[in-house]
Chain A
Amino acid sequence: MPKKTIEQISKEYNDAYKKITGRVTICGGTGCIAGGSMKVYDAFQEELEKRKIGYCLNITKGCHENYISMSGCRGFCAAGPLVSVNDVFYTHVKPEDVAEIVEKTIMKGEVVDRLLFVDPNSHKHCKTIAEIPFYSKQERILLHDCGRINSEDINEYIAHGGYAQAKRAYTQMTDEEVCKEIMESGLRGRGGGGFPTGKKWDLTRIEKGPKKYVICNADEGDPGAFMDRSVMEGNPNAVIEGMMIAARAIGADEGYIYVRMEYPLAVKRMRIAIKEAEELGLLGKNIFGSGKDFDIHVMEGAGAFVCGEETALIASVEGRRGMPKVKPPFPSQSGLFGKPTVINNVETLATVPKIMEMGAKEFKKIGTLTSPGTKTFAVTGHIANTGLVEVPMGTTLRQVIDDVAGGTTNDDGTVNKAAFKAAQIGGPSGGCLTKEHLDIPLDFDSLKSVGAMVGSGGLVVMNEKTCMVNVARFFLEFTQRESCGKCVPCREGTEQMLTMLNDIVEGRATLKTLENLEDLAKAVQKASLCALGKTAPNPVLSTLKHFKDEYLAHVVEKRCPAGVCKALARFEIQADKCKGCGMCKRACPVQAISGEVGKPHHIDPKKCIKCGGCKSTCKFGAVVTGA
């Protein structure tokens, strides 16, 4: 049987879609699933069955009633599990809410007001996505379909225009033209480095074949970043199409997607999408009748942050220890198995079909002159709307934090924009931005000028109660642990830096320690072999620069101003605030708290393990960390 063309598939799907009476989409991103969205998905089916209302889970087999599907991550993780019924958007949906949604919204077209998102600033009850500031202030190009389409159904991607650009690249354009289009768009690698993608492709294109590879770097190891995961879970076909276009541009016939093993759902969805694409003949032999072949393999990483570095990633795909190599030769000359190889990250590749669709000129109109397009950021930490946001490059930090993500929060979760202390951008390789940076535009060059970097796009917002020394130590502990050990500056340098930071947070340091720390940090930055080592000192150097007073408090006064550093912290109960309710006593895992009901309680410092449980339990703010 001849395979259907994408135009036929698209038409059939859209015709079938017109016949459905309603659509229920349940967010199936990792965050929402952890919050119980699978149970919500099951509850919808049970409830509709109970009420004898027709539904289907697959549209292409003919659906004349309600279509229920899971989507990928919708980005608004703080409000999950998320459910949309046609245009109505519900947040924090639990299985027990489903009966009411079915009865009111599906049967009568009414809205269940209590499940709508309430904007904390305007107190408005938002019925649709467009009314929610978190979404309306974004510009979702890459994430446009994430959360809207069924990510386990290739047909819906095709119906939204998917694979049309791959087809154009394979049937109507030369390899040089594809490279040129991407070069003209000014697209820069979204994985951290910001290297012009088109140039990278062209450098690989001119290398001698016939064997070349495309690798999709989905080893998103930066803790607190989940952009790539969301794209793979929400729109895996866009990644495949981007890889196909890259393969066409450089003349590759084989590709690998290297996904970290911590992302089982992304792996599953990528595998499903690849299988579906193969079945439709979009991958495999003689793509679109062009005579060219392309196959994609999925490889799961085995847990090493350094494998985000391209040469280390290549070593790992080859079945060796994931250690980086000296460049040059660059992967474009000698990459996987010694062949010319293009490595791009997920977000970069998924942006490619969008650029081809809108054209380089239109794409350049978004963002800034030197950083065109949009960028996704995973906004986490002390922030009202934790989640994934996409904004044009050059949007200011203030706009992202306050307008899109709803503002900085206190420890108890209440919004307090004034509580903003710092934002760590770019994860363990990046730097911190402070109040004075709130109005700088987020793009490759502006961030570099203040000692930070876009990195992969992790953005951790921290409030006043955060200890910046502890944060720097946290990141360094991470990079030290993940250092592969190949080069001395990184292996020994990060170890010694960590020892010094431990001395600081545990009260053993002197002013000389600070001096040595800064000297060593600069040496590691200069002398390390790969980007991991070169960027590892960034969090230390940038906190030393912006929060020197905090370091001094730890070193000179042996005091942690934020009360976070365990060795320097003393938990105390303020007698005048304590109501003697006994909550802290029950929360204490080591029975260190004593006191009679109704009278002020007391913490035994000898027994206290400084877990902080009492502090988070106390409703009266009576537990303080002595400074």
Chain B
Amino acid sequence: MTEKFAPVDQILKEHGCDPAQLIPILQQVQDLYRYLPEDVMRHIADKLEISPARVFGVATFFAHFAITPKGKHIIRVCNGTACHVKGSSFVINTVKDKLKLKDGQDTTEDGLFTLECVSCLGACGLAPVMVVDEVVHGQITPAQAVKLIDDIIAAEAKNA
């Protein structure tokens, strides 16, 4: 049991088991697991001697924290003001349709993609902007977005 959480304990130790450091702790833990599993959050609460509710509270409050696993490929479409007035909603709707995502759903059934709509990546000069696995694509059109997704699907099928 304790071994299972050894990497988490290391992170807690670096932060001196200080409850005030909860957010940086969760950030590092999320980097490790790519999301915040419930048992890990309970473990953190135990070690910090705070209630699990406080940990869940923080984890669900901030947009950066995910309590469900994310897809293999992360597509982030900027919907900041500059991107919005330059038509990012057309891109978002097209990607949603393409990935068959229902309202409120952000990860595809097969776990291949997660779509995130973010507020301003600061690359307003290139609006509208879409980031696929950390690669920034500026002045993107709906058709280009579909092509990028098709390319990933094709590459995945080839590897499978």
Contact = CB atoms under 8 A, between A and B. Distances in A.
Given A300-B27, A303-B62, A224 B81 contact: yes
A303 B64 contact: yes
A425 to B, nearest CB: 11
Nearest to A226: B122
Interface residues of A, number: 62
A88 interface: no
Nearest to A221: B119
B11 interface: no
Contacts of B87: 612, 616
A458 B119 CA distance: 13
Interface string A390-411: 0000000000000000000000
A613 B143 contact: yes
A319 B20 contact: yes
Interface string B75-105: 0000111101111011101100110000000
A229 B122 contact: yes
A612 B86 CA distance: 11
Interface string B129-160: 10000001010011100100000000000000
B40 interface: no
Given A386-B125, A589-B143, A223 B85 contact: no
A386 B136 CA distance: 18
Given A302-B64, A380-B81, A474-B84, A613 B94 contact: yes
A317 B22 CA distance: 9
A322 B125 contact: no
A533 interface: no
Contacts of A462: 85
A304 B19 CA distance: 19
Contact of A613 (B86, B90, B126): B90
A319 B142 contact: no
Given A302-B23, A302-B63, A321-B58, A382 B123 contact: no
Nearest to A428: B81
A52 B107 CA distance: 51
B120 A466 contact: no
A385 B79 CA distance: 20
Contact of B122 (A263, A427, A613): A263
Interface string B16-57: 001111111011000000000000000000000000001001
Contacts of B84: 223, 471, 474
Contact of B94 (A223, A302, A609): A609
Interface string A587-626: 1111000000000000000000111110011000000000
A125 B81 CA distance: 32
Contact of A262 (B58, B82, B121): B121
Contacts of A466: 85
B58 A427 contact: no
Given A34-B126, A299-B24, A609 B93 contact: yes
Interface of A: 30-31, 34-35, 77-78, 80, 221-226, 229, 261-263, 299-305, 316-322, 337, 378, 380-382, 386-387, 424, 427, 458, 460, 462, 466, 471, 474-475, 478, 484, 566, 586-590, 609-613, 616-617
Given A222-B120, A223-B119, A322-B61, 20 more contacts: A77-B126, A223-B81, A226-B120, A262-B118, A299-B24, A300-B23, A302-B26, A303-B65, A304-B62, A305-B119, A378-B124, A380-B82, A381-B86, A466-B85, A566-B89, A586-B143, A610-B90, A612-B87, A617-B141, A617-B143
